[in-house]
């Protein structure tokens, strides 16, 4: 197959601004390349691909970043900024569509969903988030009614946010587990990773770490500096260890030494990449029983579940998780989330869409 992968218009690839979509895109691109498919990536100007994707062609376009739906009111109308990157990406995609068998959209934005029925080359959408706004719900559900095979989701809880007319196609996510080193015993420190933004719930992890008198190491892009400062003010000085946004190799080298990894989303997280990354290093998880992370964690196997937004329940989950066999966490990631498992699903899905469109 000749596949054009259109990335997120929120940030340039390699910056961390695109969140989990950057990881997902890299896994798809390198995985499809490894199976002999031709892959071109279309992204914002200044983007860079990881070494494993070096055989892909990278096209880039300038333009103003698209506002994330995560930070907009639910009834907000669709907005595209002047000189916006989003329309530039899709103008390029439509101009060159005949060079490809399929177009794979990774962006959670209205325009590519709306365009889909009118474009000759099949556009497939790996939906990266749950329900955030009425405009996106309508766009996603319209594709689900028209040709449900064009949609895929990461988890069942994510897909359940939408009124779909057919059982959802669930992809999970994939990881190059050779890049994650297993650490048999953790240090007396907890871990948390993600964009530093209110919907990620860092304040809950900080408070629980303080309650347990353990330091909390934090990795991620400081998207909201005022929020980060407010979280730091909630706990005793020195409780939080800010590590910044690191590449995978440096991140996993530090992550593996945590006793337990906390995941505290305030919303219906579609998957939870960092949860699997922690498991791959042998770190058990303590997470709220909510969204994708609530599906990824099996109580007593790879972590423990807490009642959503209940700090006492989360502290108890940390205590239970810290007693687990760390090798079980690694094995779980190998069985369920290795890159080949993910690419099997992606390849089957794309081929299905191609067959339906012939």
For residues 316 and 209, give the distance between their C-alpha atoms in angstroms, rounded to a whole number. 12
| Cβ-contact 265, 193 below 8 angstroms | no
Per residue in 240-286, pLDDT tens? 999 998 888 999 999 999 999 999 999 889 999 999 999 999 999 99
pLDDT at 336: 95
Mean of the per-residue pLDDT values of the chain? 95
For residues 319 and 278, give the distance between their C-alpha atoms in angstroms, rounded to a whole number. 17
Question: Taking the model in full, what pTM does it have?
Answer: 0.91
Per residue in 192-233, pLDDT tens? 999 898 989 999 999 999 999 999 999 998 888 999 999 999
Kindly report the number of other CB atoms within 10 A of residue 78's CB atom: 14
Q: Tell me how far CA of residue 280 lies from CA of 253, 274, 276, 344, in angstroms.
A: 11, 10, 6, 20
Geometric angle at alpha carbon 162, from 75 and 271, rounded to 5°:
100
pLDDT at 73: 82
Per residue in 105-133, pLDDT tens? 999 999 999 999 999 999 999 999 999 99
pLDDT at 185: 96
pLDDT at 217: 98
For residues 332 and 338, give the distance between their C-alpha atoms in angstroms, rounded to a whole number. 10
pLDDT at 352: 97
pLDDT at 99: 98
Answer yes or no: CATH 3.40.50.2000 is held by domain 177-336.
yes
Where do the CATH 3.40.50.2000 domains begin and end in the chain? 2-174+338-356, 177-336
Residue 56 has pLDDT above 80, yes or no: yes
Q: How confident is the model at residue 20 (pLDDT cuts 50, 70, 90)?
A: confident
User: Quick one: DSSP state of residue 84?
Assistant: B
| Mean predicted confidence (pLDDT) in 327-336 | 97
Greater model confidence, 247 or 96: 96
For residues 267 and 178, give the distance between their C-alpha atoms in angstroms, rounded to a whole number. 31
What's the topology of domain 2-174+338-356?
Rossmann fold (3.40.50)
pLDDT at 155: 97
The phi and psi torsions of 254 (rounded to 5 degrees) equal: -90, -40
């Amino acid at each position: 197959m000749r596949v054009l992968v259109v990335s997120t218009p929120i940030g340039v690839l390699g910056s961390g601004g695109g969140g989990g979509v950057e990881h997902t895109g890299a896994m798809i691109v390198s995985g499809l390349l490894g199976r002999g498919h031709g892959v071109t990536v279309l992204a914002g100007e200044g983007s860079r691909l990881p070494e494993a994707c070096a055989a892909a062609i990278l096209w880039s376009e300038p333009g103003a970043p698209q506002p994330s739906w995560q930070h907009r009111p639910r009834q907000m109308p669709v907005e595209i900024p002047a000189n916006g990157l989003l329309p530039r990406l899709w103008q390029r995609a439509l101009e060159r569509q005949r060079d490809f068998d399929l177009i794979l959209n990774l962006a959670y934005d209205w325009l590519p969903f709306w365009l889909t029925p009118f474009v000759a080359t099949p556009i497939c959408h790996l939906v990266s988030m749950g329900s955030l706004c009425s405009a996106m719900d309508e766009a996603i559900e319209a594709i689900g009614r028209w040709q449900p095979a064009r949609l895929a989701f990461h988890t069942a809880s994510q897909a359940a946010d939408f009124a779909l007319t057919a059982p959802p196609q669930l992809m999970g996510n994939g990881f190059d587990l050779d890049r994650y080193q297993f650490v048999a015993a953790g240090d007396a420190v907890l871990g948390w990773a993600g964009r530093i933004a209110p919907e990620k719930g860092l304040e809950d992890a900080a408070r629980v770490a303080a309650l347990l008198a353990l330091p909390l190491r934090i990795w991620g892009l400081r998207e909201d500096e005022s929020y980060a400062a407010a979280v730091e003010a909630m706990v005793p000085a020195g409780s939080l260890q800010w590590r910044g946004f690191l590449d995978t190799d440096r991140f996993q080298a530090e992550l593996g030494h945590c006793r337990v990894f906390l995941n505290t989303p305030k919303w219906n997280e579609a998957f939870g990449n960092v949860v699997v990354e922690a498991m791959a290093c042998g770190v058990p998880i303590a997470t709220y029983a909510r969204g994708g992370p609530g599906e990824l964690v099996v109580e007593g196997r790879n972590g423990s579940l807490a009642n959503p937004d209940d700090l006492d329940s989360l502290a108890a989950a940390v205590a239970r998780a810290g007693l687990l066999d760390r090798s079980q966490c690694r094995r779980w990631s190998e069985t369920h989330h290795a890159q080949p498992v993910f690419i099997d699903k992606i390849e089957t899905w794309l081929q299905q869409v191609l067959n339906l469109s012939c």
